[in-house]
Chain A
Amino acid sequence: MDLKGKKVRLHDMSLRDGMHAKRHQISLNQMVEVASAMDEAGMPLIEVTHGDGLGGASVNYGFPAHTDEEYLSAVVPKMKQAKVSALLLPGIGTVDHLKMAADCGVSTIRVATHCTEADVSQQHIGMASKMGMDTVGFLMMAHMASPEKILEQAQLMVSYGANCIYATDSAGYMLPDEVSSKIGLLRAELPANIEIGFHGHHNLGMGIANSLAAIDAGAARIDGSVAGLGAGAGNTPLEVFCAVLDRMDVETGVDLYKIMDVAEDLVVPLMDHPIRVDRDALTLGYAGVYSSFLLFAQRAAAKYGVQARDILVELGRRGTVGGQEDMIEDLALTMAKQKGKG
């Protein structure tokens, strides 16, 4: 693979996707400290919100240590060069949250829908675009639809005003060929001024390989997280990815040693548990299940005396999508009842 001379914009997820792994309990000081160090290392874009995006604070997804507004107001003014993004899932967050984020100085809004349901994003993409923000359409669980379907949904988001489209491997299920075909078709068919992005999870250990495949197929933005702090087995570990890109002569603008230090000195010590491809995270990738289900399935398994792996496989079989965390406890209760009978 020859990527020499290509330019890629890296987008850090450790303070948003990483919130899943931290049960949304990162403190304001920790947020500011990590974000400032990434800013210093040259990270161009950093996402900050509840793990489930603006308005995610809930019983269903977990109440965070602080509100989105508090996190954003603490981080944004401290940034010297980095821009801050916020995620929004229609059905969870609303345009009111979007306006709040814009008022806090967020410059990029990423509107996320399941990969076949892009038409719920019209209000939010339209508003962000009208406000002159960098507006990203984020198609989640992209392994669940064909490249043609992903393209059709991407075109809807572009028609609403998105200037960048992501194919998002929320389950960490994709293999490099699938990434190539999906990103490749988006790049071939969307207008040249629309950027393409890829967001990976490392559940099958494919974070780096898939992200390289995405760049090769035309992606200009790649998500990852420093030290891999993210849901499931985490996101593409950015310090590793930076080293790989450095060797492949791809330009990122990120200082490799500095980002290695952020990972080792600041982010790893934050972790409540090692972010790795353990049995349950592997199951997510293998069964194609939304990565943030991991800790919920483990908690429900412990509470109701069933196996997390069994819960996750069944959720995959049922075709659950992002946001259906409530079905985890429901299923565990049902499985426990059946076990009692058996």
Chain B
Amino acid sequence: MTQKLKAAIIGPGNIGTDLLMKMKRSDWIEPVWMVGIDPTSEGLKRAEEMGIKTTSEGVDGLAPHVIEDDIRIAFDATSAYVHAENSRKLNELGVIMVDLTPAAIGPFCVPPVNLADHARNLEMNVNMVTCGGQATVPMVAAVSRVQPVSYGEIIATVSSKSVGPGTRQNIDEFTRTTAGAVEKVGGAKQGKAIIIINPAEPPLMMRDTVHCLTEGEPDQAAITESVEQMVAEVQKYVPGYKLVNGPVFDGNRVSMFMEVEGLGDFLPKYAGNLDIMTAAALRTAEMFAEEVDKNVISLPARG
């Protein structure tokens, strides 16, 4: 294997820190910078302790080091409001952006469904949709690759403790973005997304239900096989992704009942919703690195 792609993480919160811990184990991506805006932030301190360079001056604090440190990929775990600027500044320097915010400037990326296409096209900004999208769109796609899906609906249930203030203040963004990805990536003609926040203690594991209405009678054997294959694909980067029940068939309805247990790196295991985002983001970067290594794509030239 050749050298790892060097990366920066923007946003030293829970997501950024969890991502950092996963990245430290990666064969393909090497975390170099953690970028924050608050010099007293716990997250920056944690990153420093883990031997990562830090700046509290935002992307402007990182930019002067991008070339000398050969930063090729950046993960934005801040907010939709600042992502556009972060992306513009780093894209200009030839850095690929993996967007974990709901900004969705670039195309949606759900690794087992369309990551290979994005990597081959060298998309400079890919968006990781939402936690609910990462957990459910693969299942919609597993059905729609067998036969047309006229309607796809997902219900994501997450523990209250795992939902941060950003999501809460703009919960409509979750439903809209996820429904959009059910259509655009999942392949359903019409998409619908519902999110339920449950405060039970101890916190419940993320649960996701996926309903697809197929055109014509569902091909039960082919769909079951396709769903099982897709679950295995997701399990490659989220080992705790599990089909609890289903697929069950009722007329032209196909339903899958999923549970997502996190790895428990920085975030607790019940927060599978956050874990599947960080795991999918890292998987995305790794695929870009693999394609570079295989000379399928070339990174933007640097003098």
Q: For the complex, give the distance between the alpha carbons of A119 and B169 in Å.
A: 7
Q: For the complex, give the distance between the alpha carbons of A320 and B209 in Å.
A: 15
Report the nearest A residue to B165, measured CB to CB: A119
B228 at the interface (CB under 8 A from A): no
- Determine how close the nearest CB of chain B comes to the CB of A277; give it in whole angstroms: 27
Give B191-220 interface residues, CB cut-off 8 Å to A.
192, 194-201, 204, 207, 209, 211, 213
Question: Contacts of B255 on A, CB cut-off 8 Å?
Answer: 59, 329
Known: A91-B194, A123-B172, A324-B196. A59 touches B253 (CB 8 A): yes
Known: A120-B168, A318-B200. A59 touches B211 (CB 8 A): yes
Size category, A interface: 20 to 34
B171 at the interface (CB under 8 A from A): yes
Q: Which of A319, A320, A327, A333 contacts B248 (CB 8 A)?
A: A333
Quick check: A92 and B194 within 8 Å, CB to CB?
A: yes
Q: For the complex, give the distance between the alpha carbons of A235 and B198 in Å.
A: 24
Quick check: A91 and B197 within 8 Å, CB to CB?
A: yes
Give B166-197 interface residues, CB cut-off 8 Å to A.
168-172, 174-176, 192, 194-197
A44 at the interface (CB under 8 A from B): no
Known: A330-B245, A333-B248. A94 touches B172 (CB 8 A): yes
Quick check: B171 and A327 within 8 Å, CB to CB?
A: no
Interface centre among B176, B197, B207 (most CB of A within 10 A): B197
Q: For the complex, give the distance between the alpha carbons of A318 and B196 in Å.
A: 15
Quick check: A320 and B198 within 8 Å, CB to CB?
A: yes
Question: Contacts of B246 on A, CB cut-off 8 Å?
Answer: 333
Interface membership of chain B positions 115-131, coded 1 if the CB is closer than 8 angstroms to chain A and 0 otherwise = 00000000000000000
Interface centre among A322, A324, A327, A330 (most CB of B within 10 A): A330
A103 at the interface (CB under 8 A from B): no
Question: Contacts of B257 on A, CB cut-off 8 Å?
Answer: 326, 329-330, 333
Question: Contacts of B175 on A, CB cut-off 8 Å?
Answer: 91-92, 94
Known: A327-B207, A329-B248. A60 touches B155 (CB 8 A): yes
A interface residues (Cβ-Cβ under 8 A, vs B) = 58-60, 90-92, 94-96, 114, 116-117, 119-120, 122-123, 144, 318-324, 326-327, 329-330, 333-334
Taking A95-B172, A318-B200, A319-B198 as known contacts, 6 extra A-B pairs with beta carbons closer than 8 A to each other, sorted by chain A number, are A58-B153, A60-B153, A122-B169, A319-B200, A319-B204, A333-B257
Q: Which 7 A-B pairs have the closest CB atoms?
A: A319-B200, A326-B209, A59-B211, A333-B245, A94-B172, A330-B257, A91-B195
CB-defined A-B contacts under 8 Å, sample of 26: A58-B192, A59-B213, A59-B253, A60-B194, A91-B171, A91-B196, A91-B197, A92-B194, A94-B176, A114-B198, A114-B199, A122-B169, A123-B170, A123-B171, A318-B204, A319-B201, A321-B197, A323-B194, A324-B198, A326-B155, A327-B209, A329-B248, A329-B257, A333-B245, A333-B248, A333-B257
